[in-house]
Structure 1
Amino acid sequence: MRPTRRTFCAGLAAVPFLRPGAASAAPLVPLTARHATVQLAPEGYPATPVWSYDGTLPGPLLRAAQGSRLSRRLVNALEVPTSVHWHGIRIDNAMDGVSGLTQAAVPPGGSFDYAFDLPDAGTYWYHAHTNSMEQVARGLYGALIVDEADPLEVDRDEVLVLDDVLLDPETGRIAEGFDNPMMRSHAGRLGNLLCVNGRFELSLAARRQDRLRLRLVNAANARIFVLRLEGMSGWTVALDGMPLAQPIPASGDIVLAPAQRVDLIVDVTAEAGAPAALVHRAGDGSWRALVEVAVSAGGTSAARSAPPPLPPNPRMTVPGADSAEPREMRMQGGAMRGMESARHQGELLDFAALIARGQFWALAGQAGRGDDPFARYERGETARIRLVNDTAFAHAMHLHGMHFRTLLPDGTQGAMRDTVLMAPDEVTEIAFVADNPGKWLMHCHMLGHAASGMTSWIEVA
């Protein structure tokens, strides 16, 4: 077998690298994209037909040790092409799952072998990356957990995948209209039913003073969750899989944009029988339970001290960010403001012509993924991008293949992430070491925005 580019260029020993159709020593575990039916709405409402990995919603929880290698064979039992993106993993480019950029979409009845190393511990996820706006909304997503070498001292580790689904309450079916121009040009496709781990009402059981690790994943198409702890106190210990240098008390709002993750260490402080919950801020400003916790007696007798920080992942520093030349990526378009013009499929078009093509947004004057990258970087170069949100809506900007740090006004660097939430009129600078060769997508993870123009890419030599 041929070595990967990474091992070839480094002059290291060759490592087996799987391609579509390549034979492996043992059969790969299948991950099948197929039709399924689940009870998303409360009992009494019709069940919901979904697209699913292996028949569950979310798809199966994939779990592996840091430093190990994950392999799965995507089997497409749907009637449409699909692919899988392994969100947040610093992965070989050929395994990134972006149809049209890193691989061809897997046709109905076809398969594709994914195999890649897991260099970083943390909370990640996987989802469809062909016509993502529809395929993720129909249920093609799941959580991927990479465990640290030494387990944390917690009583339980809970993975909570948050979603909102737009349902027809009469039929229980996921509403059509994925090309709805109102949704695409505004905040995105927002659902009318919130669910966690594919359930309308999720309840956990815990004892007073139990310590839990809560891994939150926002798999929603466009919803920004604003969360709080009730009857629990806790700390944020990781964002987008990457450990914080020090735990931060989670005493206020926890904001989770589409595609973002947060790891919390929480202690159950409510008395037995008293309410405890992860609550969210509803549209009317009220706080409502998203995940209820049934508290019983019998836990430890006293509160515990603050947890230590998680062990750092490799390559978390971004040297030379101050001296790196910034490149500006301006977000344009959408309802309320629009834009004068942008390039689309090689043509410079005004806003009316772009709308006629279903393109409501642009990044740096380009609507949709163009033939040329937004930027090219030498391998190992420190990249700096100035994100400017000229629109009237928020955007969750996601970079594939690498994590970045935000550059704060005081000259320090913020947490390491792969997705940053940009408020209207906000300006944020990010910096990262371009150490992963290949073509990497950069796009808004409000998936309707990405499908309507807010998609770009960079290239690392």
Structure 2
Amino acid sequence: MKKMVISLLLGAGVLLIGIWGVMQFQDGSGESTASVLNEAKGESITDLKGDDAKGHPIKKFDITASKKQWNINSSTSVEAWTYNQSVPGKELRVQEGDYVKVHLKNNLDVPVTIHWHGVLLPNKMDGVPGVTQDAVLPGEEFTYEFLADHPGTYWYHSHQHSSKQVDKGLYGAFIVEKEKPDYAIDQAFIVDEWAVYEDKQSLTNMGSMMTGGMSGDGEADTKAMYDTVTINGKNGEAVKPLDIQEGEKARLRFINAGYQTHYVQFPNQMRVIAVDGDKVKSEEKSSELEIAPGERIDVEWTNEGNAIRLLSQSEEVDDVTIPLGNQESSTSSLARDEGRTVSGTSYESEELLFKDIPQNPDVTYKMNLNMGMNMGEGMVFQINEDTFPDTPPIKVKEGDLVKVELKNTGMLNHPMHLHGHKFQVVSKDGRKLEKPIVKDLLNVKPGETYEIYFKADNKGEWLFHCHDNNHADRGMITIVDYKSVYSPFKFGEASKNTP
């Protein structure tokens, strides 16, 4: 908050009156996320009204977090942390209008949670320890309840020390189907990367990247950290075939649970039909898909007898192929052609939040994404020159129209994810988008600037953070803070909550 000074000329003298004013522009000075989260004001988020189960079919699921030696292929295994003893965890598939109850039991020796990535739900069900709940301690249980009223592709994962827990396998697909599905064949594929053959490197001592060690593509850190890529927790001959016959059409839902941008190559043309759970307008077809960390992209694809391939971003790491049913299929890779690659911002959403670029936003927030080195900590990732929990919050009141400028002045990609809301991307690098899109995650690459708008219509305390969780772990987190509520939860070593 900045001070506004009003000068009043009274008679022969000048009277200066200093007042505190609420400014439309928030530039990061003043309050921090830590100072506003627990400031007792208005309602506790635990007292906010939840979704109502009355009149809705109820779908119940039991999920247990536990360890397992997980076989990535016949010769490679890792010690994984799992939901229901598999990586990914059990796919949860419900229908639009279902009331969902998920009972989590923690059999690990560390605290865990479940965050419902991309799902619009009550704040107290968001699964962020120290912000919306206390982490579920070893031997304890917690039940998540919410209404699944927006068909689309989502996923669930732990938000407790995510940089480690998601890395070790605590994630799964959450699919909300329409009452009458459009495709007879409908399958989800979660892509990920692992450090299998040597320990994952720490960002603490990767400062050489700051002084010219970058590869120039925004992925230098993840390329250095990981040596294996997987599809649904497997690679090589262990990847489960897609049960599809030649000539059949399918809906394929791709979810990126890793921290590296991945590329999926198709042997023939496919069509993107949804991004981050929302339908897009796309008659044109392409043969290669770019999917950012945390992003979900659905495609329509017809099998013409050749396999789909997940391309490795490192010469030392093998590609991974999705075999096709019990038929013979070619696994030859196409030559890379960036002109044929489409991404999560290539298309216009069928249903926009705003028909035109909104005028006169109630809140304008400029978010500078950068990185630096802190004494004793090594590399850190900053929002407006601060790291969580000292980052400046986006302070809103219910009903506000909010504009956020996301500017990446660093050298690495930052896939920025907003909890509890959808936003509309309206411009890139100062130019209005001809195809505006509605998302909840936007991959901001080095040198890029985007403008997004959203409506503050879901009261609570909501994270806005980089979904390369290694970056979030080192500071790139802020919150959207509704002024009329507060969180009764604490984070930090004493509380055992690590959001």
Any conservation in 2 of the 1:52–1:59 contact (CA below 8 Å)?
yes
Q: Equivalent residue of 2:221, what SS?
A: coil
Q: What residue in structure 2 maps to residue 343 of structure 1? A: none
Q: Distance in 2 between matches of 1:319 and 1:82?
A: 42
Any conservation in 1 of the 2:311–2:319 contact (CA below 8 Å)?
yes
Q: Distance in 2 between matches of 1:110 and 1:436?
A: 29
| 1:44 aligned onto 2:78 | no
What are the equivalent positions in structure 2 for 1:111-130 lying under 5 Å apart?
A: 111-130=141-160
Q: Distance in 1 between matches of 2:468 and 2:269?
A: 30
Change over 3 Å in CA distance of 1:51–1:407 after alignment to 2? same
Any conservation in 2 of the 1:439–1:459 contact (CA below 8 Å)?
yes
- Cα offset for 1:247? 2.6
Q: What residue in structure 1 maps to residue 131 of structure 2? A: 101
Q: Equivalent residue of 1:94, what SS?
A: helix
Amino acid paired to 2:480? I
Any conservation in 2 of the 1:368–1:453 contact (CA below 8 Å)?
yes
Q: What residue in structure 2 maps to residue 383 of structure 1? A: 402
Q: Distance in 2 between matches of 1:27 and 1:435?
A: 26
Q: What residue in structure 2 maps to residue 162 of structure 1? A: 191
Which of the numbers 211, 219, 231 marks the counterpart of 1:196? 231
Q: What residue in structure 2 maps to residue 263 of structure 1? A: 298
Amino acid paired to 2:400? E
| 1:139 aligned onto 2:138 | no
Which of the numbers 229, 233, 251 marks the counterpart of 2:269? 233
Q: What residue in structure 2 maps to residue 291 of structure 1? A: 322
Any conservation in 2 of the 1:318–1:432 contact (CA below 8 Å)?
no
- Cα offset for 1:322? 3.6
Any conservation in 1 of the 2:82–2:170 contact (CA below 8 Å)?
yes
% of aligned pairs identical?
Answer: 26
Q: What residue in structure 2 maps to residue 421 of structure 1? A: 443
What are the equivalent positions in structure 2 for 1:6-405 lying under 5 Å apart?
A: 7=49, 15=52, 29-40=61-72, 42-45=73-76, 47-152=77-182, 154-168=183-197, 175=199, 180-182=204-206, 187-188=221-222, 190-201=225-236, 202=239, 203-220=241-258, 222-230=259-267, 232-244=268-280, 246-270=281-305, 275-280=306-311, 282-284=313-315, 288-293=319-324, 296=327, 316-317=353-354, 321-324=358-361, 325-333=363-371, 338=372, 351=373, 354-358=374-378, 360-370=380-390, 374-405=393-424
Rg larger for: 2
Q: What residue in structure 2 maps to residue 437 of structure 1? A: 459
Write out per-residue CA displacement over residues 35-62 of structure 1, whole angstroms, 9 at most, x where no aligned residue: 112211x3234x3221000101100000
Write out per-residue CA displacement over residues 382-435 of structure 1, whole angstroms, 9 at most, x where no aligned residue: 211000101011111111111111112236562111111111011111111111
- Structure 2 residues not aligned, in runs of 5+: 1-44, 211-219, 329-346, 485-499
Any conservation in 2 of the 1:133–1:178 contact (CA below 8 Å)?
no
Change over 3 Å in CA distance of 1:258–1:311 after alignment to 2? closer
| 1:410 aligned onto 2:432 | yes
Instruction: Select between 324-333 and 451-460 the one with higher mean Cα deviation.
Output: 324-333
Q: Equivalent residue of 1:449, what SS?
A: helix
- Cα offset for 1:91? 1.1
- Cα offset for 1:15? 3.5
**Could you say which structure has the greater relative contact order, defined with CA pairs below 8 angstroms and 6 or more residues apart?**
2
Change over 3 Å in CA distance of 1:310–1:145 after alignment to 2? farther
Any conservation in 2 of the 1:190–1:223 contact (CA below 8 Å)?
no
Q: Distance in 2 between matches of 1:180 and 1:310?
A: 39
- Cα offset for 1:329? 0.3
Change over 3 Å in CA distance of 1:107–1:204 after alignment to 2? same
Any conservation in 1 of the 2:412–2:446 contact (CA below 8 Å)?
yes
- Cα offset for 1:78? 0.8
- Cα offset for 1:146? 0.3
- Cα offset for 1:249? 3.1
- Structure 1 residues not aligned, in runs of 5+: 9-13, 18-25, 170-174, 298-308, 339-350
Instruction: Select between 181-190 and 446-455 the one with higher mean Cα deviation.
Output: 181-190
Any conservation in 1 of the 2:201–2:225 contact (CA below 8 Å)?
no
Give the TM-score normalised by the residue count of structure 2.
0.73
Q: Distance in 2 between matches of 1:310 and 1:394?
A: 23
